[in-house]
């Protein structure tokens, strides 16, 4: 075979080997781009080796030349593998960084959507008592104020003050998550006081409020803050339990944890909505309840306070409603 034909055979062998290798790389890249980069130098080496083999089989190369080319390929292969590994590692790092950036952008978008939603809700909730107060004031100026004008106006002022106080408390909890003033507190006694202070609301709603508590359960806590968190859970349960329903409170302890269970009869929360229960302003519906004194921040405040005490609060559907559970490290 002449030289031109031998060169053609060698080129064809190299091209065929390269095509097969390229197809393999495409298949690998569908699963891992990094591995396709790692293997790509080997495809080049294999193509050259195929060309050299074809050239030697057609006598285009002398045996001594073939040996030299073989040594060159032998030495080049580990170098190609090394650079392929470095390139694959760099590609993997870039892919990981890109995935982290995409996840961060997604988190930022979700946070921004939640912020806009919260501002919209708070604007509505603040506007409602202000609109009522304006209407009452205009009626008073026209001499048409109702007989219970002072009582109604006071109630609207209290509602507005409650919303503003909740906003301030949530901001404080988020800015300073750790409870700074802690002392030994009997959790059973603290929960008993919270239940007693919530009885009036329960009676006005026709809801029975029960308590089950053991002996002394000591935790290190700020009693004022922790009491507010517990009261928020109680108020939430009472408001969402229909008349003649029961909100049961139970205090329990283990060697490492002190636990408070607040079980209501709200009818349950859709499973898809459970992760959003502690989001500020979220109420499980796009409509706002004018008669609700708060701004939907109570559960978020409770979660922040409990987290600041090194504990956690969770919710789960149970029975005819939900059970909110506070877990706190036990104090000794």
The pTM assigned to this predicted structure is 0.64
Does the pLDDT of residue 327 top 70, yes or no? yes
Q: 315 and 174 share a domain?
A: yes
DSSP 105-145: HHHHHHHHHHHHHHHHHHHHHHHHHHHHHHHHHHHHHTT--
Does the pLDDT of residue 212 top 90, yes or no? yes
Q: Domain ends where: 87, 103, 119?
A: 103
- Do the domain assignments include residue 120? no
Does the pLDDT of residue 136 top 80, yes or no? yes
**Beta partners for residue 247, in sequence order:** 209
Q: How many CB atoms are closer than 10 A to CB 112?
A: 10
- Do the domain assignments include residue 134? no
Alpha-carbon distance 54 to 48, whole Å?
Answer: 10
Alpha-carbon distance 332 to 257, whole Å?
Answer: 11
Q: What is the pLDDT of residue 75?
A: 55
Does the pLDDT of residue 226 top 50, yes or no? yes
Question: What's the total number of domains in the chain?
Answer: 2
Q: Domain ends where: 103, 121, 152?
A: 103
Of 83 and 40, the one with more pLDDT: 40
Q: 325 and 176 share a domain?
A: yes
Q: Are 134 and 156 in contact (CB under 8 A)?
A: no
Q: 309 and 192 share a domain?
A: yes
- Do the domain assignments include residue 139? no
- Do the domain assignments include residue 121? no
- Do the domain assignments include residue 290? yes
Share above pLDDT 70 across residues of the chain, in percent, rounded to a whole number:
78
Q: 177 and 306 share a domain?
A: yes
Q: Domain ends where: 77, 103, 129?
A: 103
- Do the domain assignments include residue 155? no
- The residues, any chain, with a CB within 8 Å of residue 127's CB and separated by 6 or more, are none
Q: What is the pLDDT of residue 199?
A: 94
Q: 237 and 167 share a domain?
A: yes
Q: What is the pLDDT of residue 7?
A: 62
Q: 305 and 207 share a domain?
A: yes
Does the pLDDT of residue 34 top 80, yes or no? no
- Do the domain assignments include residue 200? yes
Share above pLDDT 90 across residues of the chain, in percent, rounded to a whole number:
30
Residue numbers of the domain that contains 207: 163-329
Mean pLDDT in residue range 291-310: 80
The structure tokens 């030994």 sit at 184
Does the pLDDT of residue 287 top 50, yes or no? no
Query: Average pLDDT, whole number, for the chain?
Result: 80
Of 11 and 212, the one with more pLDDT: 212
Mean pLDDT in residue range 240-249: 93
CATH code assigned at 311: 3.30.565.10
Cβ contacts of 125-129, under 8 Å, gap ≥ 24 = 125/163, 125/288, 125/295, 125/296, 126/160, 126/163, 126/164, 126/295, 128/288, 128/290, 129/156, 129/157, 129/159, 129/160, 129/163
Of 117 and 313, the one with more pLDDT: 313
Q: For residue 299, give both structure tokens.
A: 């559960």
Chain centroid to Cα 152, Å, comes to 41
- Do the domain assignments include residue 169? yes
């Amino acid at each position: 075979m002449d030289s031109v034909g031998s060169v053609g055979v060698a080129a064809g062998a190299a091209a065929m080997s390269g095509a097969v290798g390229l197809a393999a790389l495409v298949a690998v890249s569908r699963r891992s781009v990094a591995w396709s980069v790692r293997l790509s130098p080997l495809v080049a080496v294999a193509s050259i080796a195929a060309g050299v083999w074809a050239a030697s089989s057609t006598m285009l190369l002398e045996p001594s030349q073939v040996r030299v080319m073989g040594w060159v390929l032998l030495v080049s292969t580990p170098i190609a593998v090394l650079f392929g590994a470095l390139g694959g590692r760099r590609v993997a790092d870039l892919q990981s960084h890109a995935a982290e950036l995409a996840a961060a952008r997604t988190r930022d978008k979700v946070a921004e959507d939640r912020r806009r939603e919260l501002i919209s809700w708070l604007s509505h909730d603040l506007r409602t008592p202000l609109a009522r107060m304006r209407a009452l004031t205009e009626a008073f100026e026209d001499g048409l104020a109702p007989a219970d004008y002072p009582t109604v106006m006071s109630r609207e002022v209290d509602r507005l003050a409650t919303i503003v106080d909740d906003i301030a408390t949530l901001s404080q909890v988020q800015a300073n998550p750790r409870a700074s003033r802690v002392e030994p507190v009997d959790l059973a006694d603290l929960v008993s006081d919270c239940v007693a202070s919530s009885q009036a609301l329960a009676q006005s709603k026709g809801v029975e409020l029960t308590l089950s508590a053991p002996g002394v359960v000591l935790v290190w806590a700020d009693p004022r803050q922790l009491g507010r968190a517990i009261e928020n859970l109680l108020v939430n349960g009472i408001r969402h339990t229909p008349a003649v329903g029961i909100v049961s409170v139970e205090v329990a302890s283990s060697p490492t944890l002190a636990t408070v269970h607040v079980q209501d009869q709200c009818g349950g929360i859709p499973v898809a909505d459970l992760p959003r229960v502690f989001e500020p302003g979220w109420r499980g519906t796009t409509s706002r309840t004018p008669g609700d004194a708060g701004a939907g921040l109570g559960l978020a405040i409770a979660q922040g306070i409990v987290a600041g005490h090194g504990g956690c609060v969770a919710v789960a559907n149970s029975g005819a409603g939900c059970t909110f559970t506070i877990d706190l490290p036990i104090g000794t």
